Amino acid sequence: MRRPANIVYGLEDSPPPHVTVFNGVQYVGLIAINLVYPLLVFRAAETPAQLVGSLLAIGMLVLGLATFLQVCRLGPVGSGYMCPATFTATYLGPSLLAVQVGGLPLLFGMTLFAGLLEVVLAPLLNRLRPIFPPEVSGLVIFVIGLSGGIAGLRAMLGEKAAPVSTEEWWIAGVTLATMVALNVWGKGMARMLCALIGLAIGYIAAGIAGLLGVGNIRTIAEAPWIGLPAFGHLSWSFDISMVVPFAIAAVAAAMKAVGTIAVCQRMNDADWVRPDMRSITRGVLADGASTVVAGVAGALGTNTSTPAVGLAAATGVASRKVAYAVGAIFLLLGLFPKLTALLAVMPRPVVVASLLFAVTFIMINGLQVMSSRMLDARRTLVVGLAIVAGTAVEVFPTLSATAPEAARPLIGSSLVFSTVIALLLNFLFRIGVKQTATFKVDGAPVQAEKLEQFMETNGAAWGARRDVIDRAKFNLAQSLEVIVDSCEPQGPVEVAASFDEFNLDLRVSYVGPPIELPERRPSNEEIMESEDGQCKLAGFMLRRHADRVAATHRAGRSTILFHFDH
């Protein structure tokens, strides 16, 4: 593992104590904004403010433990990377549903179930890739953001919500504007902590407008400075109708953990080529185990924090020691009831503004994941129809009431409905997609446009990664150029391209002498002196561009195999 130039403190480094503590505080500040998710769920469950304070304290302790689980490598658990834990919008929709149906006991029971499911799924994730291709997982992320934003707006504008006062509109506007302005135009710390600063401004504005309320101020004043949260209220229940929403959230959380840990790997290794599934599996196991802890202790499901890892890449501080500091700070904050009481009484417009700010990035992240693959008409329909299905559930909440009894759990949540539609269409549209495509080239000159079209059309039908198809296009064009120009093939050159979610294989065969695929680059003189040098250069580039190459020559027929990992 070679350290990239932009990393100041690598994974194994020990930064000076002040750097460790300062960075730890910075990450905690970044992650703390996500306490808005449990807050929204506990409010929806009409939990008394005092108990909300206690639940948030438990939440902080859970985040501390989850961060330690991820960074420490205990048995098969933990990626060992600086990858702090956070609460996530992924569990927001299902959690809101759970508290509506069965209150806090059902929330905690189903969170425990989701965590266990993620633990079970961790070793199988790589095999599940064909079922959950990126356009489907991107769609899940997008709908998580969309439904989270609408859930926030419903708290202010929904039928059951109290009417919104002019002051509340102003406070929501000021909070959101602060976060947006600092994020867009701010620099350094101001930009990194834009959400936390916006939150503080929102509180101040609410205080000035008299929206904090005497009761709430008394709750904060009466809370002790130091103390353990109460666990007496804890109980758990299970409801079969909640299995699908929580299962989808668990899969989405696992996929996000895969992505975040892959970013950690890439950030720490200048020679990184592709994800190392061993540390990813350990990381997803830790992520699932953290959600199990959350369910047992009485919190919402947790997930790896992508923004925190992004911040590590920006600052170049990726030391494991910093993750220990983040875990320790969260554990300490969980022991300050006054702080959690302050968070528990967060005014409604501040909650909604913070949520809208957060979900914007989640939705865009989903769009980026969706568009990371080439999309043909089939895949476009999968994504488009599934988004419409999810949006329909949000716009027409009574939709599930008109559905047959058995289908209601699937149509009751936008996340569940859109995911189910996407999975069904994904299966349906596999009909008629050939996993192996063939093509023949007859004589010179090579028709470059036809080769391009062959790879583009099939790449889009397979939903392949753009970068892998581009590499394959080069190898196809360059090898055919050499074969047609220098090998004098007898008859057509046959091309077969085969794809599954993990591999792209190109097979080029012809009757004629084999082309050379040297491991050493020919010298500049060799290249300039003759066309033979030019062919050697082509062979060298072809070998380097593919992940594996193999060449055979039998009974006058030469075959070259180019393998690309996918």
Cβ at position 531, least distance to other proteins in Å: 8
Provide, rounded to whole angstroms, the least separation between the CB of residue 514 and other proteins.
Answer: 17
3-state secondary structure of 9: strand
Q: In angstroms, what is the minimal distance from the CB of 468 to other proteins? A: 13
Region of 520 (left: φ > 0; alpha: ψ -120 to 50; beta: rest) is beta
Instruction: List, edge to edge, every strand of the sheet that includes 436-441.
Output: 436-441, 490-500, 503-511, 557-565, 548-554
The token pair at 200 is: 């503080």
Query: How far, in Å, CA of 417 to CA of 145, rounded?
Result: 15
Taking the least distance from each CB to other proteins, the nearer of 69 and 482 is 482
- Contact by Cβ (8 Å): 497, 437: yes
* Residue whose CB is less far from other proteins, 167 or 456: 456
State whether residue 439 is helix, strand or coil: strand
Angstrom distance (rounded) from CA 13 to CA 27? 18
Nearer to other proteins, 338 or 543 (CB): 543
To other proteins, the closest distance from the beta carbon of 40 in angstroms equals: 43
Find the shortest distance in angstroms from Cβ 479 to other proteins.
Answer: 10
- Closest to other proteins by CB, 310 vs 518, is 518
Name the residue among 67, 27, 32, 113 with its Cα closest to residue 358: 32
Q: How many angstroms separate the CA atoms of 130 and 517, rounded?
A: 33
First-to-last C-alpha distance (Å) of the chain: 22
Q: Which is nearer to other proteins, 345 or 537 (CB)?
A: 537
CA–CA dist 317, 18 (Å, integer)? 13
Measured CA to CA, the distance from residue 405 to residue 417 in angstroms comes to 15
* Nearest to other proteins of 413, 478 (CB atom): 478
CB of 126 within 8 A of CB of 337?
A: no
Q: Kindly state the smallest distance separating residue 503's Cβ from other proteins, in Å.
A: 21
Rank residues 313 and 541 by Cβ distance to other proteins and give the closer one. 541
DSSP one-letter string for 357-388: HHHHHHHHHHHHHHTTB---HHHHHHHHHHHH
At its nearest, how many Å lie between other proteins and the CB of residue 488? 14
Q: Minimum CB separation from other proteins for residue 526, in Å?
A: 10
- Least Å from the CB of residue 64 to other proteins: 43
Between strands 503-511 and 557-565, the pairing is: antiparallel
Q: How far is the CB of 91 from other proteins (least distance, A)?
A: 39
Take residue 78 and report the two structure tokens written for it.
């933990």
Residues that bind other proteins (CB under 8 A): 445-446, 448, 470, 474, 477-478, 481-482, 485, 521, 524, 527-528, 533-535, 537-538, 540-541, 544-545
- C-beta of 73 vs 266, nearer to other proteins: 266
Residue (237 or 486) nearer to other proteins, CB: 486
Strands 557-565 and 548-554: antiparallel
What's phi and psi for 302, nearest 5 deg?
-110, 170
Nearest distance, CB of residue 460 and other proteins, angstroms: 18
The reply to whether omega before 4 is within 30° of 0 (cis) is no
Report CA torsion sign: 368, 374, 375, 378. Answer: negative
Cβ atoms of 250 and 118 within 8 Å: the answer is yes
Residue closer to other proteins by CB (options 322, 484) is: 484
| 199 vs 472 by CB, closer to other proteins | 472
Residue 54 or 479: which CB sits closer to other proteins?
479
In whole angstroms, what is the distance from residue 141 CA to residue 365 CA? 7
What pairing do the DSSP bridges indicate for beta strands 85-87 and 302-304? antiparallel
Give, in degrees to the nearest 5, the angle at Cα 263 between 268 and 272: 50
Q: Which is closer to other proteins, CB of 222 or CB of 532?
A: 532
Cα 526 to Cα 41: distance, rounded to the nearest angstrom? 70
Closest Cα to residue 323, out of 24, 18, 529?
24
Kindly state the smallest distance separating residue 404's Cβ from other proteins, in Å.
Answer: 52
Strands 302-304 and 548-554 come out as unpaired
Closest contact distance (angstroms) between CB of 259 and other proteins is: 23
Closest CB to other proteins among residues 30, 535: 535
Residue 272 CB, shortest distance to other proteins, in Å, is 16
Q: How far apart are CA 305 and CA 330, in angstroms?
A: 14
Q: How far apart are CA 273 and CA 22, in angstroms?
A: 32
Least distance (Å) between residue 528 CB and other proteins: 5
Q: Which amino acid makes up residue 329?
A: I
Tell me whether residue 447 or residue 490 sits nearer to other proteins (CB atom).
Answer: 447
- Let me know how many helices (H) and strands (E) the chain has, helices first: 22, 7
